[in-house]
Amino acid sequence: MKIPKRIQPLVEDGLVDDVLSRLMSGKEADVYVVRCGSEIRCAKVYKEAAQRSFKKAAQYTEGRKVRNSRRARAMEKGSKFGRKEQEKIWQNAEVDALYLLADADVRVPEPYGCFDGVLLMELITDANGDVAPRLGDVTLDQQQAIVNFAVLMQDVVRMLCVGTIHGDLSEFNVLLDEYGPVIIDLPQAVNASANNNAKTMLLRDVDNMKNYFGQFAPFLLETQFGKEIWKLYEDGELKPESVLTGEYAESTETANVDDVMIEIQAAYEEEQRRIERLQESEA
């Protein structure tokens, strides 16, 4: 296909050899499948602020630090230079979050760098080598729903332990490969300690996941993971290995949470055995 104008400089610099197809067009970026040497990757081309339809961006960028005082003043004034710097921060936020979360053992695409508003990163594929589907585009049985929900709650905890909240987590921002969920789309990632909207966004992220998976495993709708996770975080007790119960002290829910957690744990352990078998067969 014809090489998009924004990717052309990467071709000229030898970072991209060919553009194979357009993968999707979203509210803040267009994504393309590209060839880089022998590797097939994806290139996320961020849209300019005037074209972006991501709502209430200021809520997400609150608390992001700008070390250079001149840049900070320009951004506050909204000058042309300031707007340009704001765009750089928005774009670099995703690649920074990807590196941070990968180090925290959260499953995210591997980043290869952001170049003039184009993020090069790993292309997530399924067992057949095709582009992995979004979570919202697949149908799950109850056990698959339980397992994937448990994995994502663990990832939400790991993210928060390194001070990050996705802020826009939904079935459309999670891919599903043969090993399970992969979290994507992080330019709006929230600084948990510096953003006044952090708690609201964390609870919304968890509720989005709970409501989605609850279609396939209805008892998940009665759990209170979001409030439990935030309470542990506020109390300084949240750890990457924290064992969640799905309960919250102020909850008036009458669900038998112990039974829910036994079912979640059993399904999760079975899924771990499946993944181990897959990895052994590839070794």
Which CATH number among 1.10.510.10, 3.40.50.300, 3.40.50.360, 3.90.79.10 corresponds to the domain 48-110+131-283?
1.10.510.10
Which is higher by pLDDT, 171 or 83?
A: 171
Are 31 and 24 contacting, i.e. CB atoms less than 8 angstroms apart?
Answer: yes
Interatomic CA distance for residues 91 and 23, integer angstroms? 19
Assign 34 to helix, strand or coil.
strand
Which is higher by pLDDT, 85 or 213?
A: 213
Using N-to-C axis directions, what is the helix angle for 69-77 and 80-103, rounded to 10°?
Answer: 120
Question: pTM to 2 decimals?
Answer: 0.82
pLDDT for 72 equals 45
Radius of gyration of the chain (CA): 20
pLDDT averaged over every residue in the chain = 86
Tokens standing for residue 85: 């710097």
* 60: pLDDT strictly greater than 60: no
C-alpha torsion sign, points 50, 52, 53, 57: negative
Using N-to-C axis directions, what is the helix angle for 198-213 and 225-234, rounded to 10°?
Answer: 150
Are 213 and 220 contacting, i.e. CB atoms less than 8 angstroms apart?
Answer: yes
